[in-house]
Amino acid sequence: MKKKFTFTAALLFSAAVFFESCTPRSETLYNDAYQEIENGHFRLAINLLEQSAKLEKNDKKKTKALLEAARIARFEIQDFERSIRLYREIILKSQDSRQRINAQEAVAEVYLENLQNYTQALKDLLILEQLDLGSDQKEKIKLKIAQAQFLTGNADSSLDYIDGALKTAQKERKHLLKLKAEVLISSKKHDQALITYEELRKLDEVYFAEENLYIATSIAYEEKEDYVSALSYLDKYRDQIKDLSYLELREKRLKEKLTNKPLFKGRRK
């Protein structure tokens, strides 16, 4: 009985060795990487995935390994520079145009959202804009380009770009209008900002309330020192403002400013 067991065990061991020898090294490394991911060893997993990608001859499997490595670098360990390098490798090597586009978009997002390198983000977004994108994705990219222009200090360029994008925008229209109002306020163009806010309110009142833009509109009035209009606006739309404590604080502040404003009749002597 013992000999039979030993013989069977030997056969199983030989089969395992044979199977392992037939498994491509790239696949073994890929499987090892997922084991390390389950154990929370993310840096080791990225190294294994990169090694797997270097050895893998199948384009889909190679890209899959690189994408997973880039995802871990970006979201798990926040090694943004490494994630950019991995995404750029996909852009250069993947045979799938959609994957190349997605990787290009990821690079731009990392620069814009994670590294706050707005100049480089703008460069990558402008490259992305020239690619064959669907209409919805094209609108999102245009919004990000306008954001990047604004964040690099080019308010006028951002406004021109937004106006151009608004001519055809559909799904991103409300986001473009919100950004336009913010850029206008930063440029001290309060009257234009108020017009833009009103256009947005009429377009989507639910979004307007969710984004707390009733308050933002009152601030635009406040910044142009029109405290009466600011108070009147808050009173008109008070039922739409959820944060009542903040609303009361804003009203109190505006009333104080109104009282202390030069030439105001109620000002104390």
- Per-residue model confidence (pLDDT) at position 22: 64
Count how many residues are written for the chain: 269
89-97 CB contacts, 8 Å cutoff, 24+ apart: 89/53, 90/63, 90/66, 93/59, 93/62, 93/63, 93/66, 94/59, 94/62, 94/63, 94/66, 95/59, 96/59, 96/60, 96/63, 97/132
Per-residue pLDDT band for 58 (boundaries 50, 70, 90) equals very high
Say what the pTM is: 0.86
Sorting pLDDT into bands at 50, 70 and 90, what band is 23?
confident
pLDDT at 268 over 90: no
List the domains of the chain with CATH numbers.
Answer: 21-132 (1.25.40.10)
Q: What value does the mean pLDDT take over residues 98-126?
A: 98
Q: What residues contact residue 52 under an 8 Å CB cut-off, 6+ apart? A: 26, 27, 29, 30, 33, 65
**Rounded mean pLDDT, 74-89:** 98
- pLDDT value at position 18? 45
As a whole-number percent, the residues of the chain with pLDDT over 90 amount to 87
pLDDT reported for residue 261: 81
> Average of pLDDT values for 76-86?
98
